[in-house]
Amino acid sequence: MAYQPKFARGKKRVSPFFVLLGVIVVPISLALTVVLLGKMVQSVGRPKAAAQTAPENMAIMEQFDGFVSAKMDAARDALTAAQASEGVSETTVPVREKVIIEIPDDAQVAPEPNPECYGQADDPSSLQWLLDEAAFLLDGQALYFSTDAELFEGSLVNYYLDDTIFAITWKEVHDGSVYTFSEVKVNHPSQFRRHLAGGEYGSATQFYTTEMAESVNAVVASSGDFYNFRSFGIIVYQGQVRKVEGTYAETCY
């Protein structure tokens, strides 16, 4: 291998042993040397009896003990940090995955929504976090809803977000009229359902839309038309043609 100057060589990781050596052994050795030299200076020119008596001032020994204890604590902390850094693995932010729920064609009731996933806001500009959270469901699709939307006075933005559905509903004023908007994103087409009053075609029972939506666990529901009270048009339900009358209109329900 070609020669490399010292400043061009790659840095190597310092072993915890050398950290211990530099933090404890070297300072303690220097301290012991200073103490021994001090004792030698004190003993020169004194009678031998003085060397056999205990020193009256123990301050220097107490300082030395404190110095050693501090260095031991620092070395222990350094070793603990070095060992911890060796065992630390890289952490990754969990990616939210889609959950596919397929509802059978003959099912009348959908899975029950999570009440904790509903929310409201009176300021659209505060919902950027919601759009960010729903990005995994939107797959890059743009929404008509905007954080700059001007709501109808006194109205709220209602939303729902779980692993399979994102729905957001709000009201705006356009040309002097109030419009209700809803945008819904589902993971599977079977989550987009149609429910007839009474649960079957031809039923004479009538219900409010809110009652029907609650009975089938709908997250968002929109009222339809009174198909059973029309004598014209084309009606197809569950893949079967129920009525064909094209005199006045051609409508597929």
- What's the mean pLDDT in 93-118? 83
Is residue 31 within 8 A of residue 60, CB to CB? The reply is: no
- Structural domains counted in the chain: 2
* Residue 159 near residue 149 (C-beta atoms within 8 A): no
Q: Is 6 left (phi over 0), alpha (psi -120 to 50) or beta?
A: alpha
pTM over 0.75: no
73 and 21 co-located in one domain: yes
Instruction: Provide the pLDDT confidence category of residue 8 given band limits of 50, 70 and 90.
Output: very low
Q: For residue 100, is it within any domain?
A: no
Domain membership flag for residue 62: yes
Choose from 30-44, 65-79, 83-97, 171-185 the range with maximum mean pLDDT. Answer: 171-185
Give CA–CA dist 171/178, Å, rounded. 7
160 shares a domain with 121: yes
Residue whose C-alpha is closest to residue 220's, from 157, 152, 177, 172: 157
Residue 3 inside a domain? The answer is no
Same domain (yes/no): 83, 145: no
Same domain? 64 vs 140: no
In angstroms, the Cα distances linking 69 to 24, 28, 83 are 10, 10, 21
| 50 in the same domain as 133 | no
Question: Do the domain assignments include residue 227?
Answer: no
Distance, in Å, from the CA atom of 149 to the CA atom of 170, rounded to the nearest integer, reads 9
Interatomic CA distance for residues 146 and 132, integer angstroms:
12
Return the SS3 of 159: strand
Residue in 62, 60, 72, 61 with CA at minimum distance from that of residue 28: 72
d(CA 251, CA 229): 14
Residues 218 and 142 reside in one and the same domain? yes
Judged against a pLDDT cut of 60, whether residue 144 lies above it is answered with yes
Residues 122, 212 share a domain: yes
Instruction: Give the per-residue pLDDT at 240.
Output: 83
Mean pLDDT of 88-113: 74
Q: 215 lies in a domain?
A: yes
Is 106 part of a structural domain of the chain?
A: no
Query: For the CA atoms of the chain, what is the radius of gyration?
Result: 40
Residue 236 has pLDDT above 50, yes or no: yes
**Residue 201 near residue 193, CB atoms below 8 Å:** no
> Domain check: are 18 and 80 in the same one?
yes
Structural domain range at position 41: 14-87
The model's pLDDT over 35-63, given as tens digits with 9 standing for 90+, comes to 555 555 454 445 444 444 444 555 555 66
Q: Tell me: do 120 and 201 sit in the same domain.
A: yes
Q: How far apart are CA 176 and CA 168, in angstroms?
A: 23
